[in-house]
Amino acid sequence: MNPVTLLESLFARKAEFDVFPAGADDCLDFSILHGERFFRRWGDGEFHSLMTQSNVFGFSARITSGNPASLGGFVLAREVAGEAEILTIAVSGKYPRRGLGWRLMLAAIRETKARGGETMFLEVDEGNAAAIGLYRKLGFKQVAERKGYFAGPTGEKATALVMRLDLR
């Protein structure tokens, strides 16, 4: 391993994260990370227009040491009439399986409850084992299937699982 890669991996292992409520200042960082983890990147303008809606909320996981604190992951959700929906969640490929997705989802669930939400829904590609593993561990159950819902880079279609968590 070359010295730079070695240093990066040591830093990644040692990094400590905190979870913060998301704000307009996060839009560019969210857009960049979104582009790293999804085929179609949402622009910072798209994040901005979502995050200025009063029923949309989110959280970031940032390294607590370092300036500016680098982004480990984020989640965005929307709550309408007691039902919340996960709009997107992404954790940096530098920090997989470190519990960041779990912590971000718990923050979104807590905020949904605080807003009076009683259920949470999300859609996930049926081939996304990491995300499905995370959602099942949180107690989400599959309630429906949408064939051809997601489109991939070469136009191929993938089935979405609709999953639901009861928060009452």
Ligand X SMILES: CC(C)(COP(=O)(O)OP(=O)(O)OC[C@H]1O[C@@H](n2cnc3c(N)ncnc32)[C@H](O)[C@@H]1OP(=O)(O)O)[C@@H](O)C(=O)NCCC(=O)NCCS
Site string for ligand X, 86-115 (x = CB under 6 A): ---xxx----xxxxxxx-------------
What gap in Å lies between CA 125 and CA 87, rounded to an integer? Answer: 13
Pull the structure tokens for residue 48. 């901005």
- The least CB distance from residue 141 to ligand X, in Å, is 15
Site string for ligand X, 43-82 (x = CB under 6 A): ----------------------------------------
Q: Which stretch binds ligand X (CB under 6 A): 62-70, 110-118, 121-129, 145-153?
A: 121-129
- The least CB distance from residue 85 to ligand X, in Å, is 11
Select the residue interacting with ligand X from 70, 119, 128, 142 (CB under 6 A).
Answer: 128
**Do residues 157 and 150 touch, judged by C-beta distance below 8 A?**
yes
Helix (H, G, I), strand (E, B) or coil at 115: coil
**DSSP code per residue over 2-22:** -HHHHHHHHHHHH--EEEEE-
- The least CB distance from residue 87 to ligand X, in Å, is 10
- The least CB distance from residue 167 to ligand X, in Å, is 18
Torsion (CA) 91, 95, 96, 100 in degrees, nearest 10: -60
Q: Does 127 bind ligand X (CB under 6 A)?
A: no
**Which residue do the tokens 């370092």 mark?**
66
For residue 32, what are the contacts with CB-CB under 8 A and spacing of at least 6?
none
Residues of this chain that interact with ligand X (CB under 6 A) are 37, 89-91, 96-102, 124, 128-131, 133-134, 137
